[in-house]
Amino acid sequence: MNALFKTVGLIGKYKSPEIAVPLLALGKFLEARGVKVIIDGLTAQHIGDSRFPVHTLEEIGRDAELAIVLGGDGTMLNIARVLAPFDVALVGINQGRLGFLTDISIDTMCETINAILDGSCVTEERMLVEAEVFSGGRKVFGVLAFNDVVLSKGLKGSMIEFEVKIDGRFLYALRGDGLIVATPTGSTAYALSSGGPIIHPSLQAMALVPICPHTFSSRPIVIGGDGVVEITLRSAADARAHFDSHSHFDLNNGDRILVRRYKHTIRLLHPTGHDYYSMLREKLHWTEFY
């Protein structure tokens, strides 16, 4: 057994009892490999009786060298944010169609995990961003995002007005439906559907993608990962800030959002032979010539 993975945490999709059978099967397989298995507390509530010790996510981050997530990309996003401060590797197993982050089939999970335990895998470091909201000069909200930070108009449908600075230098003022600040991971999510570029996950960069700007000249721009993005609301209407579509914050005129790279990265492990470009072709249905 690879000495790097003495303790493995198992985490399943929230409120998904159907994950019980494959998760418990994987746990038994890991035990047979001589690995100590611990299980997330919320997962344990929905899989029935289990002999595995139950831990919080934070305890898994502290105690495990590897965390295996059974679910989809949304589950992985949620878990990655919590485990980001800990140096724990992540592996994603998908229940259905393979995802951008969860790229191991549930049908071949034991075979693939066996190879990973033997050290046969591809390691990938991915950046996150931390976002802060300031109102009246006072910090009122802070959160991590793995995919993106999105400023958007509210339910009233009115356009919002805001200005953007990079490292304190004025970039532009814009009227429109909002702005997406995406990580390389998030570049294949909302930002992609809004016309943004795909950024290879090995890059330390952020994409700024306007949402339905009220001008023909606005285009997405990619900045370095060390840049600090500052967005100031000039006409907020009922604007909101969204963080990975997980956390939300209502905004008012004059509120500022600061977005910068988080000091820790996420370490993803993929099966040997993992090819990012092949995955893009499959997920985005790009054609190939033969």
Instruction: List, by residue number, the catalytic residues.
Output: 73
Residues whose CB is less than 8 angstroms from the CB of residue 15 and which lie 6 or more positions away in sequence, other chains included? 46
Q: Helix %, strand %, coil % for the chain, to 5?
A: 25, 40, 35
Quote the CA–CA distance of 261 and 146 in Å, as a whole number.
10
H or E stretch at 39: strand 36-40
Distances (CA, A) of 182 to 12, 85, 188: 26, 20, 9
Quote the CA–CA distance of 223 and 231 in Å, as a whole number.
15
Distances (CA, A) of 205 to 18, 186, 208, 239, 279: 38, 11, 10, 26, 20
